[in-house]
Structure 1
Amino acid sequence: MPYEYVGPAEILRRVDGVAGRPVRSPADLDEWLAERRDERDEPFTFVVDGDGTLLIAPRRSEHVACAGGRPVLAAGEIAFDGREGRWAVTGVTNQSTGYCPDAGCWPAVAAALDRARVPHPGGFTDVFVFRHCPCCGELNLVKDAHYVCVFCDADLPS
């Protein structure tokens, strides 16, 4: 199921093309990470586009810019380690407040990584739950299964 962008409209208006780098092979990942030696200590932004391709961008990039404003099959943050001479995913989440993907998007992430032949942990290393408040409309990050809006105390959909 594709996820539409649900973040601030002003961020979407600034999108100019697809900012994410496609990763279709280990060589694609090697090349991109070689250009980012100073950034490899923190996770990167990623999306899986509508064709099932992994796109990655620097961490402070907006997911919607990474995706070129298009719907995605998954979005979050991803970290890599290359100590064994080959890059592998060491951390991957669904943390994207622009798309708010649920944990059910993992199969799209796994398929994209498998096609690119990038080893991964087999599931999200951290899962985030997002809910928009039906009363005030604010986006909430649900913690500890506490489905209450932090802005207005209304109950959030479970």
Structure 2
Amino acid sequence: MRFFAYPYAGPEEIRRHCIAAPPGALIRALPDLHAWLASHPDALIEGSTYVVDLRACLRLSPRRSEHVACAGGEDVLAAGEMGFFAHARGASVTAVSNLSTGYRPDVSCWDAVAESLARAGLSAPPGFTTSVHFRRCPACGESTLVKEQWFVCTFCDADLPLEWNVSARREVDVVAHVDRVRSLSTP
């Protein structure tokens, strides 16, 4: 599968401050999610910070964590916030956004989120429950959040492009990467 990898586009001082922090918890299966929620019960109320790493695996951190810390300083396939609902069988994912001012991913990163949740055996909403559009202004160079589908720069009132243009994302082949990693670790 091919996805876009998004580089960190936030303030460098935040990256430097977060680089020593451990990355977010790897969620590869439903028991991983249940264990993480048991150790972070506030996440059932306020949600969590998430990233999808370059192997298309979901990583979770407490809600007020920096996305770059959750990602271990690496590029991501997706980043945002995730909400959960507790029920008799454990918990499920009920809300997902792409709200990350550090990575500013395009709404097209949903495919990577859906893939990471499917790989972990987690059900998901049919798409982002809250989608955010980030754009870089061609006139002043500032990154801005598009609100109410009004593609106008909040800094200089210039028109913003309809297509995502925040940073130099790159296309990655996740399956080939995973297969290469598996072949390197196989005796």
* Bin for the TM-score computed over the shorter chain: over 0.9
TM-score, scaled to structure 2? 0.80
- Which 5+ residue runs of structure 2 have no aligned equivalent? 163-187
Aligned equivalents of 1:117, 1:153: Cα separation in 2: 44
Alignment check: 8 A CA contact 1:52 1:108 kept = yes
Aligned equivalents of 2:37, 2:59: Cα separation in 1: 13
- Which 5+ residue runs of structure 1 have no aligned equivalent? none
- Give the corresponding residue for 1:7: 10
The amino acid that maps onto 1:23 is I
Q: 1:119 aligns with which of 117, 123, 147?
A: 123
The amino acid that maps onto 1:7 is G
SS at match of 1:90: strand
Structure with greater helix share of residues: 2
* TM-superposed deviation, 1:133: 1.8
* Identity across matched positions, percent: 51
The number of residues matched between the two structures is 158
Alignment check: 8 A CA contact 2:63 2:81 kept = yes
Q: How does 1:100-115 map to 2 (within 5 A)?
A: 100-115=104-119
SS at match of 1:105: helix
SS at match of 1:87: strand
SS at match of 2:49: strand
TM-score, scaled to structure 1? 0.94
The amino acid that maps onto 1:132 is R
Aligned equivalents of 1:20, 1:137: Cα separation in 2: 31
* TM-superposed deviation, 1:17: 4.7
Aligned equivalents of 1:93, 1:125: Cα separation in 2: 6
SS at match of 1:110: helix
Aligned equivalents of 2:141, 2:64: Cα separation in 1: 25
* Cα RMSD, aligned residues only: 1.3
Greater gyration radius: 2
SS at match of 1:37: coil
Alignment check: 8 A CA contact 2:44 2:86 kept = no
Aligned equivalents of 2:50, 2:43: Cα separation in 1: 14
Summarize deviations over 1:21-48 as a string: whole Å, max 9, x none. 0000111111110011234201210000
The amino acid that maps onto 1:149 is C
Summarize deviations over 1:53-97 as a string: whole Å, max 9, x none. 100001111111100111101111000112242311110011111
Aligned equivalents of 1:41, 1:156: Cα separation in 2: 35
- Give the corresponding residue for 1:50: 54
* TM-superposed deviation, 1:12: 1.0
The amino acid that maps onto 1:73 is L
